[in-house]
Every structure is written in C-alpha cells, then in structure tokens.
Amino acid sequence: SQQGEEDPQALSIQEGENATMNCSYKTSINNLQWYRQNSGRGLVHLILIRSNEREKHSGRLRVTLDTSKKSSSLLITASRAADTASYFCAICPADNYGQNFVFGPGTRLSVLP
C-alpha cells in the first residue's frame, strides 16, 4: 500500500506546548500534503511540500520531509485549544497513474486548556 501512516494515532498536550506528528510512506512521491479536519467538517489544506523540498513553514506550522527515510513531520508550535482536530498526511505518488492522493488514517490531536 502507498498509504501514508501517521504516528501517533492520538496525541494529547497542554495549551502552549508543541505538537509533533509524523507520516511515513512506502513509495516515491511527487509531493506530500498535510490537512486538518475539525470534528464534523471537511478537510482543510495546511501545507504542500514537494519531493525536492526539505522544510516549509506556514505561521505556527513547520513541515519537514526526508525522502531517504520516506517520512514527513508536522510541527505545531505554541499550540492552542483551537488546534484540536485530526491531522492527515496525503501522499501523491511519483509514479501516479489513475490515482491521486492517498490519505493516511490521521492523528487526533487534543489541546487541553
């Protein structure tokens, strides 16, 4: 399977702490994206990182990509209660044919006030 696998499955932290989620995958990729899903809502795009990039930032979010280890991490700094959500990585395989992004099962983040 080309599916991205997030780790951990669930994470609980205090407000103000940093949260780190990891995504591992099995195939070569064109790009990898992170999405957030609040309970009962659709997914919202956070960051896209291409296979030739190693790190990207967006506000309090930092994404890294290590293609040699086939892994990516999402760091949320100074977390807030509003960051409570599920986070998904989605991989776009490099040899994509008849298929688009493949999503992992997600990490459920709880930020406690």
Instruction: Using CB under 8 A, list all residues that contact other proteins.
Output: 3, 30-31, 33, 35, 40-45, 48, 88, 90, 92, 96, 98-106
Q: Are 63 and 34 in contact (CB under 8 A)?
A: yes
Shortest separation between residue 28's beta carbon and other proteins, angstroms: 13
Shortest separation between residue 62's beta carbon and other proteins, angstroms: 18
Shortest separation between residue 33's beta carbon and other proteins, angstroms: 7
11 vs 43, which CB is nearer to other proteins?
Answer: 43
The token pair at 68 is: 């040699």
81 phi and psi angles, rounded to 5 deg? -60, -30
68 vs 100, which CB is nearer to other proteins?
Answer: 100
* Residue showing tokens 């509003």: 82
Report helix, strand or coil for 56.
strand
44 vs 81, which CB is nearer to other proteins?
Answer: 44
Provide the 8-state DSSP code for 40. Answer: T
83 vs 101, which CB is nearer to other proteins?
Answer: 101
Residues 92 and 72: their CA atoms lie apart, in Å, by 13
